[in-house]
Amino acid sequence: MPWQAWFTLAVVVLCLGLLARNRYPPDVVMLGGLTLLLLAGVITPGDALSGLSNEGMVTVAVLYVVVSGLQETGGTARVSQALLGRPRSLARAQLRLMTPVAALSAFLNNTPVVAMFIPAVQDWAKRHGLSTSRLMLPLSYAAIAGGTCTLIGTTTNLVVNGMLIAHTGEAGLGMFEIAWVGVPTLLLTIAVVVLLGRRLLPERRPALSLLEDAREYTVEMMVEAGSPLEGRSIEAAGLRRLPGMYLVEVERDGQIMPAVSPTQALRGGDRLLFAGVVDSVLDLQKIRGLVPATNQVFKLQSPRHARCLVEAVVSESFPLLGKSIRAGRFRTLYQAAIIAVARNGRRVPGRIGDIVPRPGDTLLMETHPNFLERYRNTRDFLLISRLDNSTPTRHERAWLALAIMVGMVATVTLGWLSMLQASMLAAGLMLIGRCTTASAARRAVDLQVLLVIAAAFGIGLALEKSGAAAMIAASLIGLAGDDPWLTLAWVFLVTSLFTNFITNNAAAALMFPIAVAAATRLDVSLLPFAIVIMKAASASFATPIGYQTNLMVMGPGGYGFADYLRLGVPLTLLTGLLTVLIVPLVWPF
C-alpha cells in the first residue's frame, strides 16, 4: 500500500483509540484526525470540507428545527402516549419502543423517525422512571434493522439493487424480497437488546435524581375544564410518579383531599398541590390540561407562549419585605407572576399570595424574557437566572406540528421531494405556523453531532482515495479461498467493518466490485453476495460514527465510544451469522 494508505489507517486507529478512552469530545477527536489528513496531503481542502455540504449532514441539521416544533407544542408527548404506552419493566419498554420504530423505518427514512422519537423517548423515560441510556441505542438499532426489511427502507438497499441491475441486466429485487433475511435479523436485534440490554447498556440517571439538596418548590396547578385530564384517574393522567416531584394534596370545591388515591378521578377546576425540584416543575408546566392555579399568571400582559420561567434570589433591599406577595402587588410592580417559593432549599408551605418573602428566598416566576435585562443590575435581587426550555407549551398547535411532520414524511415516501427538500420545507412551516420560534430552533441544533458527521465524511473519503479500504478488502476476501460460504462471511465481515467508519453507501459501493470478482472466480451467483452487502452495509451498530442515527442518540443517551462496542459488536456478529446462514438458502449460489 502507498504511504498515504498507511498514514490514513494510523490516523483512524488514533481517532478510535481517543474515542474509546472518552477523554476528549468526539467532535474534537474527529476534526483533529481530519486536520492531520489534510496537512499530510492525503485529502484536499475540498475533500475535508465536503462533509459540511453533504446532504445527509444538512438534513440532520434541519430536522433539529422540525423536532423543535414538535417539542414546543407538546407533539412529542402525544406521540409517546399514543405509541409507547405505560411499560411495567425495562424489557417491555424496549420492546414497546423498538417495535413501532422498526415498523416505521421499514417504509420511511430512518433519520426523521429517530429525530421524532428522541424527545418523545426522553419525555416517556422521565415520566416512567426509566434511564434514557438504556433506550436511546435500542431506538437507533431498531431504526437501522427495520430499514433492512424492505427495498425502500434504506438508501443502501436501493444503491446495491441499482448496481445489481446495472451489472446483470436483469430485474432487481422486489419490494419485500429482502424481508426473508431482514425480518429474522430484526427479530434477532430486538431479542438481543431485550435480553442483553440490561447488562450491556449503561444506566445513567439524570442529575435530577442525584441532587438530594436541590431546591424544592411547592407548586399549585389547576385542571382545565374540558381538558384531556378531566375524568381520568391520577394514575392514568401520569401525575402519580413524576420524577423528583410528588402530589401533596388535591383541593376540590374548598375541600382538601390529602394522600389522594391513584384511582381518584380528576375534575375541571381541581387544584393540585405538588412538591418537587425545579426540573420537575418545568415538566409539570408542559403537561396538557394543567395550568398554574394562581390567576396572576393570566393577568400578565404578554401572551403565555412569549414567556419563560425565571429564578430570582431576594435581597435585603427587596422593597416588599414584610408584606405578603398579594399585599405587595408583586405582579403589578414587576410584571411577573410568582408560581413557587423556596426557602433554604426547602418548599414554603401555604398559598403563594400569603407568603411573606424573606432575604435569601428563591422565587420561581413566569414572566417575559426581558425581565433579566430590566432587573439584573437592581438591588432588589441578588441573582437572576432564566431556566432553559421553560417556555409554556403551545398545546393548541400540537396537531399542526404533527401534521407538518407527517406531511414531510409522506412527500418523501411518495417521491415528491427529497429528504433535504422536505425537511427544509417542514422547518419553514414550523416557523411560519408558530410551532417554534427562531431562538428555540437555534438552541435545538446540536452542533457537536453535525461536526462529527461532517468530519466522518472527510475521513471516510480519505480511506477510499488513499486506497486503504480497497486493499484491506481485497486482502481479507482472498483469505476465504474457494469456499463460497466462507467468502460470503468475509464479505459481510469486511463490509460491516467499513460501514462503521465510512458511510454505508460508500461501504456498499466499495465492496460491490469486490463481491463481483469473488462470485466470478467461484463461478457462483452474484445475488447472495449482493444481499449480504445490503445487510452488512446497514449493520452500523458498533460505533457512533457508523450511522447518523447513532450519533443523534449519543448526546441524549450520554454514551461514550465504548458503550457502542459492548452491545454493537456482539449484535453485528450475531446478525452476520444469521445472514450468512439464511441468504444461501433463499438465494442459492
Beta-carbon count within 10 A of 313 CB: 16
Q: How confident is the model at residue 77 (pLDDT cuts 50, 70, 90)?
A: low
At residue 136 the predicted structure's pLDDT band, cuts being 50, 70 and 90, is very high
Which of 429 and 116 is assigned the larger pLDDT?
Answer: 429
Q: What's the chain's Rg over C-alpha atoms?
A: 27
Q: Tell me what the mean pLDDT of segment 235-263 comes to.
A: 77
Q: What is the mean pLDDT of residues 554-576?
A: 90
Please state, for a pLDDT cut of 90, what percent of the chain lies above it: 13
Could you give the 3-state DSSP secondary structure of residue 49?
Answer: helix
Cell, residue 551: 450519533
Q: Give this prediction's pTM.
A: 0.68
Q: Is the pLDDT reported for residue 573 higher than 90?
A: yes
Instruction: Note the Cα 496 to chain centre separation in Å.
Output: 24
Q: What is the residue whose three cell numbers read 476528549?
A: 24
| Closest listed residue to residue 472, CA positions, set 501, 441, 503, 432 | 501
- At 429 the pLDDT is 94
| Lowest mean per-residue pLDDT among 11-20, 291-300, 309-318, 516-525 | 291-300
State how far the Cα of 567 lies from the Cα of 542, in Å rounded to an integer.
7
Q: Look-up: residue for cell 438552541? A: 443
Is the pLDDT score of 295 beyond 70? no
Residues 6+ apart with CB under 8 A from 236: none
CA angle (479, 481, 485) in 5-degree steps: 100
Predicted local distance difference test score (pLDDT) of residue 302? 62
Domains of the chain: 3-203+448-586 (no CATH), 210-386 (3.30.70.1450), 398-438 (no CATH)
- How many CA atoms within 13 Å lie on the side-chain side of 162? 10
Q: How far is residue 276's CA from residue 284's CA, in Å, rounded to a whole number?
A: 10
How many other C-beta atoms can be found within 10 angstroms of the C-beta atom of residue 166? 10
Question: Which one is predicted more confidently, 180 or 176?
Answer: 180
CA gap 270, 253 in Å, rounded: 8
Arithmetic mean of pLDDT over the chain:
82
208 — pLDDT class (breaks 50, 70, 90): very low
User: Who has greater pLDDT, 476 or 63?
Assistant: 63
Cα separation of 194 and 99, whole Å?
12
Collapsing DSSP states into helix, strand and coil, what is residue 545? coil
Say how many C-beta atoms besides its own lie within 10 A of residue 223's C-beta: 25
Distance between CA 502 and CA 426 in Å, rounded?
29
Is pLDDT of 210 > 50?
Answer: no
pLDDT at 8 over 70: yes
Give the residue-averaged pLDDT of 376-387. 84
Query: What tens digit of pLDDT does each residue of 341-360 get?
Result: 888 777 777 777 888 888 98
If you search the block for the grid coordinates 416543575, which residue do you land on? 281
- 559 versus 217: which is more confidently predicted? 559
pLDDT at 297 over 70: no
Q: How far is CA 583 from CA 80, 185, 476, 574, 586, in A?
A: 36, 11, 21, 14, 5
Lowest mean per-residue pLDDT among 5-9, 281-285, 303-307, 502-506: 303-307
- Lowest-pLDDT choice from 10-24, 201-215, 338-352, 555-569: 201-215
Which residue is listed with cell 420504530? 101
Rounded distance, CA 109 to CA 278, Å?
37
pLDDT band of 211, cuts 50, 70, 90: very low
